[in-house]
Amino acid sequence: MSTQLDLQQRQSMARFVVGQSEYAPSIPTINFAGNISYDASGVPTSISPVGQSGYSLGSIQWDFGQRSGAAAPFLIAFQAWAQNNNINPWQYQSQNDVVSALSSKGSSLSNNPSSGLNQNTIALLNQFLSDPAGSGWVNTNLTNTSIGLSDATAINAAFGVDQQTLSNVGLQVQNSITGASLNVEDLGLVESWAMKIENQGGDTAANQLLAFLNAPNPYTVGNVQNFISNNYNSLIIQGVAQVTSAYNAYQLISSEAADENPNPIFAQLYATAANSALIDPAVMTSDSAIPSFFRGPKCNS
């Protein structure tokens, strides 16, 4: 049995273990990590973010405040959709104000709440995202580039983002001193943890774990779990715990599918997961059990 994972397996874990552990619906929506209060016109009156988090969307979380280069292209696609549907995209806020709000970090929004997205603007953006044009744009330009179409390092230079893809982080785990010592089941779990930390905390957070995994002597999975518990904030620890639950489900169908006499249901689930990692979940067939199969209790990230 192989003790390594290939690109397709890492992509599948990124989508269905890391992504589904976010408990995100198939259709992406505009989210905000924190609390926002609005007046009767939908204008924000107070914004309390979690750290520097800004507005985000997608099952593979894309924080526009941390990756602001994607805001303008996203809104260009939104404007084209709105015009095709005879909708005024800027009826509640100007285009410049929406670009600025979507690109802002949590501290800027907190200091100037009225500069945030109007509730009615969010409703229009979510209407766009509920359409295949919107969900497809997010899947192609944000989700898949975050997952990684190859083991390349950068997410998307066009958006000014020079961050590691989730697949690349998984590969670095596999090539680490600890990763090389693990069996394939434990390797997949640690890779999933690292991908979740990258997605939630960025390069700095993930590189801290990768440095630990490259210590001269290999660590056990328990050692790695203790390191995460002692070195990351509560939100990342909660996210890693949710990934563990989702990975257990993924590993169940993976091991059953590899059995000499596989359970046909689990075999089909695993094949669907492997072949659907880069497909827009919003257009997957309604009888697919993949999105809900990996979900556990809701985790706010």
For 160-170, write each residue's pLDDT tens digit: 666 889 999 99
Residue 183 lies in a domain: yes
- Per this entry, what is the length of the chain? 301
pLDDT at 62 over 90: no
Q: Which of the four pLDDT bands, split at 50, 70 and 90, describes residue 297?
A: very low
State whether 158 and 18 are in the same domain: yes
pLDDT on residue 287: 46
When divided into structural domains, the chain yields a total of: 2
State whether 202 and 287 are in the same domain: yes
Q: What share of the chain is helix, strand, coil (3-state, %, to 5)?
A: 60, 10, 30
State whether 120 and 177 are in the same domain: no
Residue with tokens 């670095």: 172
State whether 11 and 86 are in the same domain: no
Q: Please, are residues 242 and 296 in contact by the beta-carbon 8 Å criterion?
A: yes
pLDDT on residue 58: 80
- Helix count and strand count (H, E) for the chain: 14, 7
State whether 21 and 36 are in the same domain: no
How far apart, in whole angstroms, are the C-alpha atoms of residue 6 and residue 148? 13
State whether 115 and 221 are in the same domain: no
Give the DSSP letter of residue 232.
S
Residue 48 lies in a domain: yes
How far apart, in whole angstroms, are the C-alpha atoms of residue 96 and residue 179? 46
pLDDT at 47 over 60: yes
- The domain of 53 spans 31-129
Average model confidence (pLDDT) across the chain: 86
State whether 85 and 194 are in the same domain: no
Residue 185 lies in a domain: yes
State whether 278 and 161 are in the same domain: yes
State whether 37 and 21 are in the same domain: no
How far apart, in whole angstroms, are the C-alpha atoms of residue 66 and residue 22? 18
Instruction: Specify which residues 232 forms β-bridges with.
Output: none
Q: Which of the four pLDDT bands, split at 50, 70 and 90, describes residue 279?
A: confident
For residue 143, CA distances in Å to 9, 257, 264 come to 16, 26, 30
State whether 39 and 22 are in the same domain: no
State whether 76 and 189 are in the same domain: no
